[in-house]
Structure 1
């Protein structure tokens, strides 16, 4: 930890140098204008951040170079302070900060609003995430990466921005790589625009080369520069298990209880792979927390979940201080791995696994695969415990296994379905996708598969151009193209009300709660049968949503039927926003009044690439690719005589390839609704 002693610069002291808008001249200007409404305590906090000592250097480099590759260690303050420095230096237009995850954008916007003494979504600080965007034009705008890509459709050169900051670039999400490729093109056109590429751990030299627009041998002519900032990271003790654990979810619960029994103070953050595991762990720990409350012991716990599909309100609960006498226990997916600083965390529990999407060319779908974390991710997780004071990280795997982990997680660009990516790039005017400069070029097979699917959906024509109006309309939806096609088709089939509900339900990981006790599991299964129908999971979701709305969205209905109340509230929010969107495309809001066939046909019109048939061997196989698939145990169709033809929404790869969210269809519908994708043949013996 560095021994720096920051000195606060008063507004009256003209000691800060910053470059004039003329790139070749350096002028002395007045110091930053600090917000007079800032409390002294917040000002002191800002000065204590390591980034404070580098404030002048950052602004100098931003004036001299077009791209700043900033390697800022965890806790240095780069995500919250740099945008404020730019605004205080009176740059003319907006500062846009892109985050890989919604919860990071929301929490950072809230923090900066507090520091500037303004309201969130005001004129100073705002945020924009999927289905929730600010209507005004704030000076500092936190957003998800997908939002910035959508803004490029209406403002291709981002003329409303002076500076764009791509944060947490080391995660290398799909959108991160797209944005880096697009920003390189924009920087060539707008020489006055500045780009900050920031991360705690990244290959800075590689990115500096990628963004250097002046490819000369002289470094003084480079348009990109690298800067490092040391973080405020306290020491973290790493603990490994002696022997491998049989179930990491149960091991997380046991470790939480063991830490809670100790006299050491501090909150706990535990990492699991998905919403289902998080909810299971939360229920188990809450059972123990209730017993502790009843026995009037001192070591009480407040248990809160954290994952991407939670509502904004529920996600922000993790940042609140626990009640007096309680220890906060946060059970999270990898959304809490970077960007987000949860106050009070001293102990971190790392399950050692992460759920990643991996594209399967044969099934044309992303398979969700649970894989070991990388060394970089493990270090990031451990670092969450050293933000406030010395911490401890408990890794639920042996030290020998830790040495075998991969150094970094493969970029999402090379392991994901590129259908949505290609659609967005086409909408932005990129005609030749193969020549587009990606930081990590995707496999040619993945690009070919994406173009085939988009052509089959009618989004692009034989020349690879977007169709009018379908292709352009599909590109404007923040959804998988298969689902946007469903929504735009729903009016023709007379079932837009039902399709709105189904697509909204598919945007959350699961709506059913899973008890862990034997008796609870039986009761949950019995209650779930009240909603099940022979047509499959998607029609069952209609029954779940109808029951929830008929109960006036009561929590009691969810508890009685073992339904996730938070997930259902999120579904209602998403549905309302999607309904407003389809109204812009003249899709009539109509219902088929309980008649299932129009809904099933509409589902086939969008999900036809994900069709499978029951092979005589007793397993399902994809029609194209002949890949062996199985019905997921959570599906309605798992316990009934299996139908001959189905379509699925996703594939989960654990012990086998499991189809999730199934719908029963007729084979004739595939020929009727997708004759360009399927045709009937007769096999004859030679």
Structure 2
């Protein structure tokens, strides 16, 4: 049992005078209105949680007239943050969302010609840079939550840095850039952006107490559960709890456990309203965490790191930090990219701590010892140094970067990772390699037109050959949004019974296609979605994504046909584009990936979990207690060989040696 005691804590006191400092920032940026002044072309702004940097600075810049020559862009790492922040700022400005204040996220654009403050994901700003590397329509670009260092953010740093220099050299109205975060490596950012000046915003006037465990915890889930109920029995019911977990499955399991235990608490204990929060949760249920709990109830929010930054939930007094997060890891040597549970960095731990007490003094319970905390990495390893770079290389080539191998990354990826990414693009037919030069092929340029991973772009571009473009567009759209299937643990038997009518023995892709077809046949009826445990909002988003992808196909003059009831053509198409993500059944009943001979297993959520097909493709690997394949499709080995004979000949020779 975890013991969280007042004898072992650090107390942090913050003093707030953030508004005067924000106005200081505005005044410093106003210097840029003089076209002859370019020395101070950027200001970098580390601002503590609660300083108002994300919501207030864009408004001050607009009111000061700085954004009148163009649009003020505010980037966010996550779509949910971009949408919620745009909604809040629009409400504060008393305007309709999509007018003065708007947002753009992947496959969703709520902005107009009137928009002057635009929140958008970093990936969407990067896609805009493919069409206009100088980002001419923007006068100010605010790169927010810079510490998260997503793969798109790091590329965007280099693109924006180049745009700053070129806009100045061309004599255009100067571009102003503000980089913001509550926890970032100030020296590294300042050095990278030409010794840019630094401005600190102190934003919290409430003290936060931090408690560590006395002993390391072997089971962080059990420790979190015990901590929640210790707090619940001692604290007033008006004070809510936020718990950080790693993923949907953990959250759903603990939600059920908390609700079950809460039914048997002794008299005098307040009631408990347990609320999950993760990206694939239906939007209406995500909104519940922002609403006050009923009288006599305490809100207990179980969240992924979606609640770590940007969104502030009122009423949170206690934070329980498990110190764990689910993140991608990529090995260029093996070619494997897996989602794995790992320790957070110190920066992430401080971000989580900052979620406590936004309105009053707060408490953070860290379910690890102080010695363990001191061994955490100072900053999160940038995603660009631990992910497959195929998408990045494709984007850089589409941006017409002269030499992708020498691109000005803030944190340069390893040469092996860059070479592995180019090798993958080569296998997909997206690039030509001539000596040291790497150039996009005509197919590669078409692939870059889609806001998708290269393997999915290739899938769509191959689909006319197999006369199944309509079905492939649907499948890719289904895989491009958060899960359309909702699986409440308390109704598992009912879910399985309802889902039987959709299940295809040929795999998850065809099962999802069956769900979409049924959804379309009932015209998106919400009651049908509830009865079949389907996320209505995500299904509507699938329809929007599909329409946009179809428009891109029409612009590229791709013929759009349907395979109707011939599922073999669909699976052949998937085999020809996902051939690098394949696994074969071994004599002992296990599976091994063809690419690296890695032992893998079928994920329990797959419709093929109780089956043993000889050969499958998969979309991703998830590493927990073992390495699982997710989103599987049954394919023939002959199809894979037809797709890339040279690739499989090399693999066969390597296996023999």
Shared fold per TM-score greater than 0.5? yes
2:619 corresponds in structure 1 to 649
Change beyond 3 A, Cα 1:530–1:600: same
Show CA shifts across 1:56-77 (max 9, x none). Answer: 5543576651121212111111
* Residue number among 378, 383, 398 corresponding to 1:412 in the alignment: 383
Which whole-Å CA distance do the structure 1 matches of 2:538 and 2:369 have between them? 35
* Residue number among 49, 56, 72 corresponding to 1:95 in the alignment: 72
Which whole-Å CA distance do the structure 2 matches of 1:172 and 1:135 have between them? 26
Q: CA deviation at 1:549?
A: 4.1
1:234 corresponds in structure 2 to 206
Q: Report matched runs for 1:532-547 at 5 Å.
A: 532-547=503-518
1:194 corresponds in structure 2 to 176
Kindly tell me the number of residue pairs found equivalent between the two proteins.
627
2:579 corresponds in structure 1 to 608
Q: Report matched runs for 1:45-194 at 5 Å.
A: 49=19, 51-52=21-22, 54-55=24-25, 57-59=27-29, 65-91=40-66, 92-122=69-99, 124-137=100-113, 138-191=115-168, 192-194=174-176
Secondary structure at the aligned position of 1:608 is classed as coil
For structure 1, which runs of at least 5 residues remain unmatched after alignment?
6-47, 213-221
Give the TM-score taking structure 1 as reference length: 0.83
* Residue number among 648, 670, 674 corresponding to 2:644 in the alignment: 674
Secondary structure at the aligned position of 1:142 is classed as strand
Give the TM-score taking structure 2 as reference length: 0.87
Which whole-Å CA distance do the structure 2 matches of 1:566 and 1:301 have between them? 27
For structure 2, which runs of at least 5 residues remain unmatched after alignment?
1-12, 34-38, 169-173
2:239 corresponds in structure 1 to 266
Which whole-Å CA distance do the structure 1 matches of 2:569 and 2:15 have between them? 69
Which whole-Å CA distance do the structure 2 matches of 1:288 and 1:208 have between them? 50
Change beyond 3 A, Cα 1:288–1:481: same
Query: Structure 1 stretch 158-167 or stretch 567-576: which is displaced more?
Result: 567-576
Q: CA deviation at 1:185?
A: 1.3
> Is 2:316 aligned against 1:345?
yes
CA contact (8 A) 1:268 1:346 kept: yes
Q: Report matched runs for 1:249-264 at 5 Å.
A: 249=221, 251-253=223-225, 255-261=227-233, 262-264=235-237
Q: CA deviation at 1:129?
A: 0.8
Secondary structure at the aligned position of 1:462 is classed as strand
1:490 corresponds in structure 2 to 463
Secondary structure at the aligned position of 1:231 is classed as coil
Secondary structure at the aligned position of 1:624 is classed as coil
Q: CA deviation at 1:624?
A: 2.9
Which whole-Å CA distance do the structure 2 matches of 1:685 and 1:170 have between them? 45
Which whole-Å CA distance do the structure 1 matches of 2:226 and 2:498 have between them? 30
Change beyond 3 A, Cα 1:331–1:320: same
Which whole-Å CA distance do the structure 2 matches of 1:420 and 1:685 have between them? 32
Which whole-Å CA distance do the structure 1 matches of 2:105 and 2:283 have between them? 10
Q: CA deviation at 1:49?
A: 4.0
Which whole-Å CA distance do the structure 2 matches of 1:490 and 1:317 have between them? 41
Q: CA RMSD in A?
A: 3.2
2:454 corresponds in structure 1 to 481
Show CA shifts across 1:123-144 (max 9, x none). Answer: x211111111134131111111
CA contact (8 A) 1:61 1:68 kept: no
1:329 corresponds in structure 2 to 300
